A and B are shown apart, each in its own frame.
Chain A
Amino acid sequence: MLNYIDRIKEISARLLKDCSVEMVIGFRKGSVPMMNEPYFAKTAEDVERLVWDSNCGINLANYLTDRKEKIGIIAKGCDSRNIVTHIIENKIKREQLVIIGVPCKGMIDKHKISSMFDGEIREVSEDENNIVVRGHDFKEVLNKKDVLQQNCALCIHRNPVIHDELVADPVEEQQDVDRYADVREVEALAPAEKWNYFGDLLSACVRCYACRNACPLCYCPTCFVDESQPQWVGKSQDPIDVRTFHFLRAFHCAGRCTDCGACERACPVGINMRVFTKKLEKDCLELFEWEAGMSLDERPPLDTYKPGDPGDFIK
């Protein structure tokens, strides 16, 4: 995976040179461990700054919304599914894009790794299978597989579902993955326990909206939390308002979420809000046999009506 970057640079340089695209959206090296910064390259010099490693968890499809240029976009499996959703929802046109597909075996979880060490992490480097974490007075080697983001560990669409270029051969998809073990645990709780579970989960929320803004699906010009006539949700940290924001946002992503993990990655206080979106993903799968963003030719279930749609909730 670590040599993907040579192909990415080669493809990007070529696309810019022959003017198939006006910019290539990718990553440049971050200034702190385990982070890379989304970046647009417009010249050959810019292309040299592109990087690709296990710290590329941010969903770059987020940067496509309503853009007018011809864009080359570097996309992992989950990113590519969000690009499909963007195209279906008219947020970008297929003709504008040259999708540089990158097969992906998972990104590392910086929150998880940070919490494993007491002192400050000064440097993180990697080879094909391992991560080396260095601090002021410690050095440890971790197996990448043990520190992947949870969504990556459970990923069943590691290869891009849509691409114009592919930087490497497809990787093997994971089989027999139980994606919803944690969702079922919460489903099994009694209502009062569930209520408390949600309260604890969301207690640290500071309403920064990093989760919402990192999500490619959240592109409403005025989010429901910002409406004033009428005002649906308060702006404080009142526990009911916080729950309302998270629950409703999850519902707005129902049938569209690809579990890219950008929300959890962005959260500054470490809230695992993917449990809500995964619950709705599970429901869509069970009720409508639906997985988001797999094909340009199918509309999402909340967008369409089919006579056979489940109706047993109508009493």
Chain B
Amino acid sequence: MQNPYLPYPIRIDDIIIESEDKNLKTFKFVFLNPDDERKFSYKSGQFAELSVTGKGEIPIGIASSPTEKGFVKFTVNKVGLVSSYLHAMKIGDIMGIRGPLGNCFPWERLEGKNVVIIGGGFAFTTLRSSIIYMLDPSNRSKFRDIHVIYGARTPGMLLYRDELIEWEKRDDINMHITVDGTDDPNWKYNIGFVPTITEKKAPPAGKDSFAIVCGPPIMIKFTQPVLDNLGYSHDKIILSLENRMKCGIGMCGRCNIGKEFVCKDGPVFTLEQLNKTPKEY
């Protein structure tokens, strides 16, 4: 019987400090056994349990896209016991990974559709995975218009800044980068909260429009009415939830909202599904 608690061994290959407050770091991991990388075949939207030997595990969204081969990337916020220890680790250190876990964004349903991606703060990680996946030459033609609204508190808190700038230059994706506020005179993008920018820049929904929203609960709370006004139906608004997790495979019972496990039946849910569940997330 395959043991779903046993992590694949990985090595830290690169560490990038993403944010100006140094609390967000992107880790690039390489599998010690190439066979494990093959077993770890994932889709955008899924997450993995990063196992720090001797400390514990944390569920983190996969930031790399399945189209990027040879490594996996995760952006981790320094919050508690395991993440703090991980932040202090060095290139070459050995740890573990379990996954891919959870369900992914509904890629079959999204084919042939317009997609609006709305992200806030460091919840943008699986959205990076999704954007790279969609922009890949073998995939771009499967989707129609792509809009991305991504905001953070300040320019220094935005993730993947170099990639954001590159995407902004492309004409097959519409980027609307925003910050809550800045006094940087060279800031050439938007200033305003994500819900406000969404109201201004997001295209109204046709019958073929989906919205993917990832962000802190407060951002989701204020973005939802905007999407309602723009005509997005609740079964076409896709959300990715967070909850405290341990096993990540629907066994330990901790992350349930109603009868769904966020780790196994989620973390991706439509708003229509969430309307029917208790708001315990």
A and B assemble together: yes
Question: Which residues from chain A sit less than 8 Å from chain B, CB to CB?
Answer: 228-229, 231
Residues of B within 8 A of A228 (CB): 80-81
Residues of A within 8 A of B81 (CB): 228-229, 231
**From A230, which residue of chain B is reached at the shortest CB distance?**
B81
Q: How far, in Å, is B205 (CB) from chain A's closest CB? A: 44
Question: Which residues from chain B sit less than 8 Å from chain A, CB to CB?
Answer: 80-81, 84
Cα–Cα, bound, A229→B81 (Å): 6
Q: How far, in Å, is B88 (CB) from chain A's closest CB? A: 13
Cα–Cα, bound, A231→B80 (Å): 12
CB<8 Å pairs between A and B, sample of 6: A228-B80, A228-B81, A229-B80, A229-B81, A229-B84, A231-B81
Cα–Cα, bound, A276→B80 (Å): 34
Cα–Cα, bound, A231→B55 (Å): 11
Cα–Cα, bound, A228→B81 (Å): 7
Q: How far, in Å, is A224 (CB) from chain B's closest CB? A: 15
Q: Is the interface of A mostly helix, strand, loop or mixed?
A: loop
Cα–Cα, bound, A228→B55 (Å): 10
Q: How far, in Å, is A232 (CB) from chain B's closest CB? A: 13
Q: How far, in Å, is A243 (CB) from chain B's closest CB? A: 24
**From A231, which residue of chain B is reached at the shortest CB distance?**
B81
Cα–Cα, bound, A157→B81 (Å): 46
Residues of A within 8 A of B84 (CB): 229
Residues of B within 8 A of A229 (CB): 80-81, 84
Q: How far, in Å, is A234 (CB) from chain B's closest CB? A: 13
Cα–Cα, bound, A231→B81 (Å): 9
Cα–Cα, bound, A229→B85 (Å): 11
6 closest Cβ contacts across the A-B interface? A228-B81, A229-B81, A229-B80, A228-B80, A229-B84, A231-B81
Residues of B within 8 A of A231 (CB): 81
Q: How far, in Å, is B224 (CB) from chain A's closest CB? A: 32
Q: How far, in Å, is B17 (CB) from chain A's closest CB? A: 22
Q: How far, in Å, is A229 (CB) from chain B's closest CB? A: 5
Q: How far, in Å, is A16 (CB) from chain B's closest CB? A: 33
Cα–Cα, bound, A231→B84 (Å): 14
Residues of A within 8 A of B80 (CB): 228-229
Cα–Cα, bound, A228→B84 (Å): 12
Cα–Cα, bound, A9→B84 (Å): 56
Cα–Cα, bound, A229→B56 (Å): 12
**From A229, which residue of chain B is reached at the shortest CB distance?**
B81
Q: How far, in Å, is B77 (CB) from chain A's closest CB? A: 15
Cα–Cα, bound, A229→B84 (Å): 10
Q: How far, in Å, is B55 (CB) from chain A's closest CB? A: 10
Cα–Cα, bound, A284→B80 (Å): 39
**From B82, which residue of chain A is reached at the shortest CB distance?**
A228
Cα–Cα, bound, A243→B213 (Å): 48
Cα–Cα, bound, A149→B84 (Å): 49
Q: How far, in Å, is B54 (CB) from chain A's closest CB? A: 12
Q: How far, in Å, is A49 (CB) from chain B's closest CB? A: 30
Cα–Cα, bound, A228→B80 (Å): 9
Cα–Cα, bound, A228→B82 (Å): 10
Cα–Cα, bound, A231→B56 (Å): 12
Cα–Cα, bound, A13→B220 (Å): 47
Q: How far, in Å, is A226 (CB) from chain B's closest CB? A: 12
**From B84, which residue of chain A is reached at the shortest CB distance?**
A229
Q: How far, in Å, is B166 (CB) from chain A's closest CB? A: 38
Q: How far, in Å, is B268 (CB) from chain A's closest CB? A: 29
**From B56, which residue of chain A is reached at the shortest CB distance?**
A228
Q: How far, in Å, is B242 (CB) from chain A's closest CB? A: 18
Cα–Cα, bound, A229→B82 (Å): 10
Q: How far, in Å, is B228 (CB) from chain A's closest CB? A: 36
Cα–Cα, bound, A228→B56 (Å): 11
Q: How far, in Å, is B76 (CB) from chain A's closest CB? A: 16
